[in-house]
Structure 1
C-alpha cells in the first residue's frame, strides 16, 4: 500500500471565508502536510431548503473570495476555485492531486448536511480521510433540544440554554505558514459571474462596504471600542451609527460567532459599565443562532408557515403595490427610506426592516414570502435562517412571533426612532425641505408648506398607496378570519 503520510490535505471553504478561528484550516496546518485550499461554487443543490444566493450576496461573495485569496497568498498557497457539485468535484480533486484527506467546517442546514454525507461516502469509498469540524454556531442544534428531542421555539429559554452551556471554545489563531500542494488549474473568479456587469448596479455596495476578514476584524474592534456603549438604545435609531454592521461579515464567515462572543466579553470585562449593552449585543448574536436552529429543524423555512393556521390567510396578490414597496414609492417616508437604503447599500437598519415588513404584510396584505424573496436578492447579509425567520416573526406565522394584531404605525415609528427626520432626508431627499414635525407625514402639510419645501404630492413624492387606518382595519379583519377557521 502506498505511503500517504505526506499526501496533501484539501481544506474545503464554504461560508467560513477567513483564516483565523477556522477549525478545518487549523487542523490541516497542524498535520504539516501540503494544503490545497478549495472553494466550490455549487448551485446544484436540489434538496429542500437549497437556495441560490441572491444578487447582492453574489457581489459580496466575489469580494470575499478575493480577500481570502489575498490572505492565503501571504501564507504561501492559492485559493483554488471550482464550479459544480461539491460531492462530485472534491473526490475528483482528491484523485487528481493525490490528496489523502479532506477537512471542512460543517453547516447545520439540510442541503449542506446532505452534501456532506454524500461527500463523506464518496471519500470513504476512495480510501480518503474525511473530517468535519464544528461550524459557524455557538452550539450545535443537537445539543439544544427539549425533553422530547425537538428544537426550542421560544427565544428566551433557547438563549438561556445556550448561555448555560458556558463559553464557546477560544478562537484559534490563523496559521503563520502553509505548505503549498501541487499546482492545479481551476476557475477564475470572473468565470463564476458573481458580479453584475450589464448593468453594473453595485456602485452603492462598493461605496458602502469593504468585504473580507481584515475589514470584519476592524469593524468589530471599532464597534466594541466606540459604539458598544449606548448600544441598547442606539441600535433602534436609524439616524445614528449605532449598530455593529457585522451581519454580512458574519453571513460569509469572515468573522466567527466565537470571535464576536469572546471579543465582546473581553470588552465588557474591561469596561463593566458596558455590561448591559454587551448583553444586548450578544442577544442579537443569540437571535441569529436561534434562527439557524429553527432552520435546522425546518429546512423549508422560507416557504412554509411555522404556524399552520396561516396557511389559510387571505393574502392579496397586488403586483402594483408590491412594486411600489420594492422601489420605495409607498408614500410613507420611513418605509420608502428603508427600501431605498436597501437598494443602494445592500442592507437596511434592523428597526426599519421590521417597519417595512409590517407594512407589506399588514397594510398591503401581501404574502410575507414575496418580501422575503426580495430581501433575499437585495441584502448582502441575506441569511438562510434569519431572513425567513424574521419575516415570519413580523407576519405572525413564525416561532416566538409578534402577534399579528401588532401593526407598526409607520408615522409613529418614524417620529420615535428618527425624530429629526435625518434618516428620511438622507434616503428620500425630495422631502428634505420639510420640517421634522411633517417629514414623516407630508400629507398633513399645508399647501404653502409643501410648496416651500418643493414638494408636490402625487408628482415629486407619491400619495400614500393605502390609508394607515383602513389598512390596519383590513389586516385585523383578515386575521379574525384565520382565527375563526
Structure 2
C-alpha cells in the first residue's frame, strides 16, 4: 500500500531521470515532494565566497526545478544545516518517509545518521538508495568476504557480477506534488557571488551534461584509450563535474561503455566505484595513509616549495602548465594530476595531504573518494598504489605526453618561443640562445626548484623506513 506523502532529498544527484530515490518515492507514495538544502556546514567550510562549485550547483538547481515543475512539482530549497532543515521540512509537509541516495563520505554518513534519528523521533522513515555507484556496500567482495584493496581483482569481480539490471535506468514516472514554491535562491541570497563559469565554457545542469556526453560518445569514446593521456588533445569526456553533482547518471555511461570496442573508458568508471568502496569501507584514509606503515614517512616542511608548486613556478614546464591550468579553470587533465602529485610528494618531498587539500579547494569536480585515492596512489601510501620507488620523471613525462609542447605553451606563455628541443627542459639552452629569445632562466622563467635525480635519491631514502 502506498504511503500518503514522501519527500525526495536531492544532494549530489541533480537530475529528474534515472534517479533511484525519486523512482522509489514515486512508486511508494501518493504525493512526492522534492527538496535541496544549501548545507551551511559544507558552505561555511569552503575557502571563499566565490566558488565555482556552488555556482554550478545553483545553476543546475534552476534547471532541475524547471524540469520538476513540468511534472507537477518543483524544488523546495532551504539554506541552513541539513541535519535540521530536512527533519523540519519533513514534519512541515507531513510526510511519512524521506528518500535519498547514499553518499559514502564519512561526514555525509554522519549527517544521514543524525537526520535518520531526528526523523525517527517524529515517526518518519528514512530510506537511502544506491545511485551514484553501480555497486556499493558488500556487493563486491573477495572470496574471503572482505573488501578488495587491489583494483584488478576488484574489476574482474565487478564485471563478473554485472548484469543488465545493474545498469538499467530507474524509471521516474509519475506526478509530483505541487506546493507554493519560491524558486531557487540567488547566489547572493546564500552569501555567494557569481564566478566565471560562462567565460570558461562550463555549462551546468542536465543539459550541460547531455551536450558533453553526446559529443564524447559520438566522437571520441572509441579512441579514448589512445587519446586520454595527451593534455593538448581533446580526448577525454570532461564529464567529471557532472558525475560529481549527478547531472548525469552513472548507469547510462556504463551501458554505453559496455558496447564500446575500447574498454579503457569502462575501466575508468570501475575505478570510480573502487574508490567509493575504499572510502566507504576504510574511512581512515581521510587524513591518514591507507597503509598505516606509510604514516611513518617523514615529509619536508618546505612552505616555499609548496607555494612554488601551487603557483606553477617550479621550473618544470609541464608541472607548471598543469598547475596553472588548475588555477585558471578549476580543472586538470588526469595524466597531469598524476604527474603533479608525484612531483609534490616525490620530487619536493612534501606531504601528499597538503596537495590533496589544495586540489580539494581548487577542483570544480572535487570528489573526496577519487581525490584521496589519486593522491595516495601517487604518493604510494594508498591501496593498489604505484610502488614507492616508481617516481615519475617530470621531463620524460613531458616529452612523452606533450611532445611538441603545445599544452606547455598554452599555459606557460613565457616559453612560447622556446624550441621543441628545449621546451621540456629549458634550462638546457645556452645563455646566448636564452638571451636571443628573451627567455633567461632564473629571470623570465624559474630555474628548476630541485634536480630530479638528486630528489629521487632523497625520496628512496625517505621511504627506506618502510624496509625496517
The TM-score, its normalising length taken from structure 2, stands at: 0.92
- Confirm or deny that 1:421 pairs with 2:405: yes
Q: For residue 236 of structure 2, what is the aligned residue in structure 1?
A: 243
Q: For residue 456 of structure 1, what is the aligned residue in structure 2?
A: 440
Q: For residue 347 of structure 1, what is the aligned residue in structure 2?
A: 331
Of 220, 225, 230, which residue of structure 1 is paired with 2:218?
225
- Confirm or deny that 1:483 pairs with 2:466: yes
Give matches, 1:151-162, under 5 Å: 151-162=147-158
Q: For residue 394 of structure 2, what is the aligned residue in structure 1?
A: 410
1:353-406 Cα deviation digits (max 9, x unpaired): 111111100110000000000000000111110101110111011000101111
Task: Tell me if structure 2 keeps the 8 A contact 1:208–1:345.
Answer: no
Q: For residue 205 of structure 2, what is the aligned residue in structure 1?
A: 212
Of 344, 348, 361, which residue of structure 2 is paired with 1:364?
348
Against the structure 1 CA distance between its residues 68 and 204, is the aligned structure 2 distance closer, same or farther, given a 3 Å change threshold?
A: closer
Which deviates more, 298-307 or 122-131? 122-131
Q: For residue 53 of structure 2, what is the aligned residue in structure 1?
A: 57
Against the structure 1 CA distance between its residues 259 and 339, is the aligned structure 2 distance closer, same or farther, given a 3 Å change threshold?
A: same
- Confirm or deny that 1:91 pairs with 2:87: yes
Task: Tell me if structure 1 keeps the 8 A contact 2:227–2:233.
Answer: yes
Once the 2 structures are TM-superposed, how far is the Cα of residue 211 of structure 1 from its aligned partner? Answer: 1.6
CA distance in 1, matches of 2:285, 2:186: 31
CA distance in 2, matches of 1:194, 1:219: 30
The TM-score, its normalising length taken from structure 1, stands at: 0.89
Give matches, 1:461-472, under 5 Å: 461-472=445-456
Q: Give the number of equivalent residue pairs.
A: 463
CA distance in 1, matches of 2:146, 2:52: 34
1:142-168 Cα deviation digits (max 9, x unpaired): 112235543110000011111111232
Gaps of 5+ in 1: 269-274
Task: Tell me if structure 2 keeps the 8 A contact 1:151–1:297.
Answer: yes
Task: Tell me if structure 1 keeps the 8 A contact 2:318–2:408.
Answer: yes
Which deviates more, 114-123 or 179-188? 179-188
CA distance in 2, matches of 1:81, 1:418: 45
- Confirm or deny that 1:21 pairs with 2:18: yes
Of 444, 458, 468, which residue of structure 2 is paired with 1:474?
458
1:173-220 Cα deviation digits (max 9, x unpaired): 554x633333256882425647446xxxx4367413112112112211
1:263-290 Cα deviation digits (max 9, x unpaired): 2234x2xxxxxx1x2x110100111111
Once the 2 structures are TM-superposed, how far is the Cα of residue 21 of structure 1 from its aligned partner? Answer: 0.6
Once the 2 structures are TM-superposed, how far is the Cα of residue 111 of structure 1 from its aligned partner? Answer: 2.9
Task: Tell me if structure 1 keeps the 8 A contact 2:75–2:181.
Answer: no
CA RMSD of aligned residues (A): 2.4
Which deviates more, 23-32 or 296-305? 23-32
Once the 2 structures are TM-superposed, how far is the Cα of residue 465 of structure 1 from its aligned partner? Answer: 1.0
- Confirm or deny that 1:287 pairs with 2:283: no
Q: For residue 190 of structure 1, what is the aligned residue in structure 2?
A: 187
CA distance in 2, matches of 1:18, 1:451: 56
Task: Tell me if structure 1 keeps the 8 A contact 2:4–2:95.
Answer: yes
CA distance in 2, matches of 1:108, 1:478: 33
Of 168, 171, 191, which residue of structure 2 is paired with 1:170?
168
Q: For residue 373 of structure 1, what is the aligned residue in structure 2?
A: 357
Secondary structure, in 3 states, of the residue corresponding to 2:336?
helix
Once the 2 structures are TM-superposed, how far is the Cα of residue 129 of structure 1 from its aligned partner? Answer: 3.8
